[in-house]
Amino acid sequence: MRLSCCKNELLVRDILEQESSLHGRPTPRHSCMFCGASKENGFNILWENDKYMVFTDINPSAQHHFQVIPKKHIESVKSLDESHVEMVKEMIEIGHEVLEDLDVPHHLRRLGFHIPPYISVPHLHMHVQALPYRSFLRRLKYPVVVGRSGHEKGLSWFVEAEQAVRLLEKGLQVRILPC
């Protein structure tokens, strides 16, 4: 009898988690700061639709520094594969729209992702920045390294969004090592 009760509890929990994840909300086993992003939770939300959200970075490294996140929980850029290319392209487009509204010229824009384990929140988030950085040390957090010898990206804990798209289109995983 106890076994069937446990099975029912597990079944109910699984159903609740599936329903909750469809709506981009954290579940009891899965609490994520970004899944719970809202004005009520202290986020300065600049833009939102049914799939994505843009909010200001809590500790900006540049004059304008935002995060673009999918509402559906995805752990990080390392979790992405070829099937996520369109999603990343949509995130890039949103990031450019936000910077365009602020009249930030293209050559002063940086969009990209930190690569685990160098992430602060385990929910995919694309940094959208208007350069220059506030300090030399802030700049060091976002190194863009162009690959050599047939690699798209060099050794770095940060990948520009367009680099990520090109890697994913080739069926490669984004990682710290050259890829």
For residues 106 and 4, give the distance between their C-alpha atoms in angstroms, rounded to a whole number: 60
Query: Is residue 49 packed enough to be buried (19+ CB in 10 Å), middle (13-18) or exposed (0-12)?
Result: exposed
Radius of gyration (Cα) for the chain, nearest Å?
Answer: 18
* Structure token pair of residue 111: 């969009």
End-to-end alpha carbon distance in the chain: 53
Out of 114, 123, 125, 127, the active site residue is 125
CA distance 130 to 69: 18
Which residue do the tokens 């060099």 mark? 154
Task: Look up 125 and say whether it is catalytic.
Answer: yes
Active site residues: 125
